[in-house]
Structure 1
Amino acid sequence: MVLKRRATALAAAAVLVLTPALASCGDDDGGNGGRTDGPSTTLPTMTAQPADPSAAEAEITKNWTAFFDPRTPNAERVRLLEDGARMAPVLAAFAGDENAAASSAKVKDVEFTSPSDADVTYDLLVGGKPALPDAKGTSVLQDDTWKVSVRTLCGLVQLSGATQVPGC
């Protein structure tokens, strides 16, 4: 029964996080830099990572670890969650949950998809043992802080079986 539930949770988590929103970029001048002498033959270089990827990865790892640490005060979790003030009631609802109190996360990989977004691979641990190994989530840069995304939190809320959670 536990194995079936874990497989279901992994499948649901995979569906939730393997469908990231794609951002598109364009320009208003038809791609020729405002020139009237014909189309441009070179495109501007777009970077898919922040200016200092090593520092950003370290901050993501630190913040995810703190966010999922049951000893982290709820006020700090609010600060580490995208739109944390709006999502505070969701965090408060799980503050007394027995499973949440035994949960933690270990970040395994960070892959930047833009200067302000990253895909995060992590193990969700319960009692120090992997409950959702190689789980996928996202991190966003908001207010100069790398935060756990609302999408990641809501995906985990759905996996918990909770329904009708405001904000998710």
Structure 2
Amino acid sequence: MAWAALPVAGILLLAGCGDDDKDDKGSSSTAPSSAPSSQAPAPSSAAPTSAKPTGASSAPAGAVDQSTWSADQKAAAAAYGSLFDPKTPVADRKALITDSESIAPLIDGLLAHPVMGTASLKVKDVKVTGDKAAVTFDVLISGAPAYENRTGEAVKVDGKWKVSKSVICGFGQGLGVQLPPGCAA
């Protein structure tokens, strides 16, 4: 595939994609109406673990106070943040995705794209239910908000939180690229 030829607008769509196995309803994103929604419903549970930012903190304006978050919330948020951190080695970024071997060509293409070198995430909320978490985040390109209030899934595998491969498949779907067979599983 000619990943380098993908337009920047197409890469920005990857922020608009999430778990395509869930209903896409009620997106509050500022993304163009043609971009797929990633507002997946939060996992249902009688008592999800969720800490909302509270009170004043020493964090910069607009930052999320994670000091009240559980270890699982922090770890799920860190998986998303590290996946979008260009300073994180590619091998480590791949290890942050569930079943990454089954969608390796898609991951390689997305991670190699130049725009990914300027993309970052600001995790705003994490709702943990068992070994799954709904992660709400903003995508920043060169530090500026590109897509806000996007939701994706994190999964705890062997004690470590990872980004669900369905999120990455959703990114590829939003770009209109040929999805590897692993996205169907």
Query: Do they fold alike, i.e. is TM over 0.5?
Result: yes
* Aligned partner letter, 2:159: D
Confirm or deny that 1:134 pairs with 2:149: yes
SS of alignment partner, residue 77 of structure 2: helix
SS of alignment partner, residue 7 of structure 1: coil
2:122 corresponding residue in structure 1 = 106
Contact 1:68 1:104 in 2 (8 A): yes
2:75 corresponding residue in structure 1 = 59
- Which protein has the larger Cα radius of gyration, Structure 1 or Structure 2? 1
Deviations 1:23-61 (A, max 9, x none): 9xxxxxxxxxxxxxxxxxxxxxx76459xx700011112
1:79 corresponding residue in structure 2 = 95
- 1: CA distance, partners of 2:173 / 2:112: 17
SS of alignment partner, residue 32 of structure 2: helix
- 1: CA distance, partners of 2:37 / 2:116: 17
Deviations 1:88-119 (A, max 9, x none): 2221112321222211111000012x210111
Contact 1:13 1:156 in 2 (8 A): no
* Aligned partner letter, 1:118: A
- 2: CA distance, partners of 1:82 / 1:150: 5
Contact 2:84 2:120 in 1 (8 A): yes
- 1: CA distance, partners of 2:149 / 2:103: 25
Structure 1 segment 148-159 matched on structure 2, within 5 A: 148-159=163-174
SS of alignment partner, residue 74 of structure 2: helix
- 1: CA distance, partners of 2:142 / 2:104: 24
Structure 1 segment 4-153 matched on structure 2, within 5 A: 6-8=31-33, 12-14=36-38, 17-18=39-40, 48-49=48-49, 54-112=70-128, 114-153=129-168
Cα 1:87/1:20, change in 2 over 3 Å: farther
How many residues align structurally? 136
SS of alignment partner, residue 62 of structure 1: helix
Give the TM-score of the pair, scaled to structure 1.
0.69
1:30 corresponding residue in structure 2 = none
Higher percent of residues as helix: 1
SS of alignment partner, residue 65 of structure 1: helix
Q: CA RMSD in A?
A: 2.6
If asked which structure has higher relative contact order (CA below 8 Å, sep 6+), I would say 2
User: What is the aligned-residue identity percentage?
Assistant: 31
